[in-house]
């Protein structure tokens, strides 16, 4: 403790070593420098290890308070530094910051193993867990104890000394390989942007609007071969190494495959259940996709007759977005160039704020002069209807070369109740890659971008509205196949006529989006869902097939992917939403054997929104029930118990097919 106290006394030098004296506990980004990360991680590890040692050394009989609560409140410094480091490294990753992450990951892996392979700590946790029903615990406390117990079991506490040593090596190597995969993909994304003059996030729109078929083919092949170019950033060997280690880890823990290991405590339960679920979606999705191809081929045939394409031309993967847009214009007279002027980023963001005011009573205040990690980040104070603080939401919506592609939500500060009984309110960030303002125009969003903004704000609500005591179960700390319910249900409101009337205003005139355009958006609501469902289900099945492997000996990753796509019935005109070499969700993120969760949770979100449609899309009673039973509860109860409390019944599996028009 002497070393720790000496370092803390020098906290002016390192801002991570004490709580931040900033508005609402926002990280002190103005004081944080790259030189602070590694020393703070080292100090945080020392601090938490000292706190764990104190739990073990306590001579009193184990209790929930002196074991579980003591653990929950340990690691304050480590929490502060890692939540900033790993979040900023995703959204503003300089080369020097990437090197810092590479240095820190082995330290973190070793520290985690030191905790969850400690037999003396486990003995106390196990004693409590075996008596869990006789300790007088509430449900949240039981879930926190179970989660702690499972962390030991899943990390191999029951293994022998040699096997534990090997598990340590596996964990360390996996963390390093996942980081390398992500760094490689960022480099490939930047190379793509440099070659074509557009970011990865702009690729879908470019494919829909580029008339030059040869250029579309070139862009498609470059996009689809990221991480598969035989260069320094090739991910093929990495994938095989990652899977070999995951297979070895699963077998060490007594599981047949990584999928069996990962899914045993999820809602789905088994890989077989996931396979059955996804395979059941592929058939109607592919059938609808084939009908969509027929519609597109008719328009392509007109281009052939006009001499724009050679005889015998057929729809290829690089033609889909372009001709789908032509079909949309022909069938629904809907052109995104007509809709974009009504979807200025700031207006859409205000729209989702206003929606949550109507549903949940939330109030928003723009925060000026707060510390931020990048000048493009904006912050908002969120309060409840009674004026009490809910938390802070930051938004970071524009692409840059230091930001990975896609969109996501993370925490800078977790919601929890501290030792003094104070409810620590969260600091949340939503990150995106929407078009930047340019040529005198503001950031104007496509329909997909609008859905994405609403989606990520659903995750933000899950974090912001959390009312838990323990950080291990607060906010989005839920089963992976439940976490997408709060995000995906928000998408259902995005294009409702009454909601659009509040936020969809022309960026130049301020005019509300006309009813005629709203009607076109509604009519096209299930347009292209054959393609969209097929590519999503295909990626989910590809993920599952990787994690159902029990060996990678002699495996060619691209040949494996091709066979998996053939076996699932994927048609040549569609590729999975993510091919293996750029499937960051499963090889450098937290969705391994879990990408199916988007579709799994869609059964829940479509079923849940049908209740809102019956009661009224702003129905206060229904909204507050969803808030109380889902958004506030985090992982403090089993997911299906929470859902049934809200819905009053099990979800109707047909809701997904109805929602997608399948």
Q: Whole-angstrom Cα distance, residue 356 to residue 348?
A: 13
Region class of 361: left (phi > 0), else alpha (psi between -120 and 50), else beta: left
Specify whether 456 is catalytic.
yes
Token pair for residue 391?
A: 């938390």
Q: Whole-angstrom Cα distance, residue 276 to residue 321?
A: 29
Token pair for residue 648?
A: 């009053």
| Site of tokens 């990221």 | 226
Helices (H), ranges, 319-441: 320-332, 336-339, 345-360
**C-alpha distances in angstroms, 140 versus 126, 161, 458, 462?**
18, 33, 22, 16
**Active-site residue, selected from the candidate residues 205, 456, 573, 632:** 456
Phi, psi dihedrals of residue 505, rounded to the nearest 5°: -125, 140
Token pair for residue 547?
A: 């994690």
Token pair for residue 390?
A: 């809910």
Q: Residue 587: which of 546, 619, 644 has the closest Cα?
A: 546
515-516-520 Cα angle (round to 5): 110
- In order, the DSSP letters of 193-233 are HHHHSS-GGGHHHHHHH---HHHHHHHHHHHHTTT-SSSTT
Q: Which long-range contacts (CB under 8 A, 24 or more apart) does 49-53 make?
A: 49/111, 49/114, 49/115, 50/1, 50/4, 51/75, 52/115, 52/118, 52/121
Please identify every residue annotated as catalytic: 456
């Amino acid at each position: 403790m002497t070393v720790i106290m000496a370092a803390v006394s020098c906290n002016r030098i390192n801002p991570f070593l004490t709580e931040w004296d900033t508005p609402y506990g926002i990280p002190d980004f103005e004081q944080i420098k790259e030189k602070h990360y590694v020393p703070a991680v080292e100090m945080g590890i020392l601090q938490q290890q000292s706190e764990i040692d104190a739990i073990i050394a306590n001579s009193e009989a184990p209790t929930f308070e002196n074991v579980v609560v003591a653990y929950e409140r340990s690691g304050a410094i480590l929490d502060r530094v890692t939540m900033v480091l790993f979040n900023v490294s995703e959204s503003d990753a300089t080369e020097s910051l990437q090197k810092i992450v590479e240095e820190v990951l082995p330290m973190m892996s070793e520290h985690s193993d030191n905790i969850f392979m400690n037999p003396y700590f486990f003995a106390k946790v196990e004693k409590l867990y075996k008596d869990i029903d006789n300790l007088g615990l509430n449900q949240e406390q039981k879930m926190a104890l179970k989660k702690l117990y499972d962390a030991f079991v899943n990390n191999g506490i029951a293994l022998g000394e040699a096997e534990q040593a090997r598990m340590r090596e596996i964990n360390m190597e996996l963390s390093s390989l996942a980081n390398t995969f992500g760094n490689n993909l960022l480099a490939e994304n930047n190379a793509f942007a440099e070659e074509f003059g557009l970011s990865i996030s702009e690729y879908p729109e470019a494919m829909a609007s580029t008339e030059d078929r040869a250029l579309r083919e070139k862009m498609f092949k470059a996009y689809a071969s990221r991480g598969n170019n035989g260069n320094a950033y090739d991910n093929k060997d990495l994938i095989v190494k990652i899977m070999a280690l995951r297979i070895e880890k699963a077998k060490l823990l007594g599981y047949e495959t990584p999928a069996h290991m990962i899914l045993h405590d999820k809602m789905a339960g088994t890989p077989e259940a996931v396979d059955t679920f996804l395979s059941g979606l592929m058939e109607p999705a592919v059938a609808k996709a084939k009908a969509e191809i027929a519609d597109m081929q008719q328009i392509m045939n007109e281009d052939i007759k006009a001499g724009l394409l050679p005889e015998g031309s057929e729809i290829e993967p690089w033609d889909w977005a372009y001709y789908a847009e032509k079909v949309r214009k022909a069938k629904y007279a809907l052109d995104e160039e007509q809709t974009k002027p009504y979807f200025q980023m700031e207006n859409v963001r205000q729209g989702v704020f206003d929606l949550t005011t109507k549903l949940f009573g939330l109030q928003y205040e723009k925060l000026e002069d707060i510390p931020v990690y990048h000048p493009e980040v904006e912050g908002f104070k969120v309060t409840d209807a009674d004026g009490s603080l809910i938390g802070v939401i930051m938004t970071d919506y524009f692409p840059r070369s230091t930001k990975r592609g896609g969109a996501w939500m993370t925490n800078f500060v977790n919601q929890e109740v501290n030792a003094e009984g104070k409810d620590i309110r969260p600091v949340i960030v939503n990150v995106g890659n929407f078009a930047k303002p340019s040529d005198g125009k503001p950031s104007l969003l496509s329909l997909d971008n609008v859905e994405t903004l609403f989606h990520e704000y659903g995750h933000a609500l899950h974090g912001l509205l959390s009312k838990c005591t323990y950080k291990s179960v607060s906010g989005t700390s839920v089963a992976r196949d439940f976490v997408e319910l709060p995000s995906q249900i928000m998408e259902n409101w995005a294009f409702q006529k009454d909601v659009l009337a509040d936020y969809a205003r022309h960026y130049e005139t301020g005019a509300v989006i006309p009813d005629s355009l709203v009607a076109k958006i509604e009519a096209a609501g299930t347009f292209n869902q054959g393609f969209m469902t097929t590519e999503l289900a295909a990626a989910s099945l590809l993920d599952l097939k990787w994690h159902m492997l029990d060996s990678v000996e002699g495996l060619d990753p691209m040949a494996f992917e091709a066979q998996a796509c053939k076996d699932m019935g994927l048609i040549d005109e569609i590729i999975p939403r993510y091919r293996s070499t750029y499937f960051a969700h499963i090889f450098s993120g937290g969705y391994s054997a879990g990408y199916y969760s988007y579709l799994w949770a869609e059964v829940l979100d479509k079923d849940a929104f049908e209740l809102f449609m019956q009661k009224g899309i702003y129905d206060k009673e229904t909204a507050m029930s969803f808030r109380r039973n889902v958004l506030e509860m985090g992982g403090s109860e089993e997911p299906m118990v929470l859902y049934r409390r809200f819905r009053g019944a099990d979800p109707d599996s047909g809701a997904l097919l109805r929602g997608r028009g399948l």
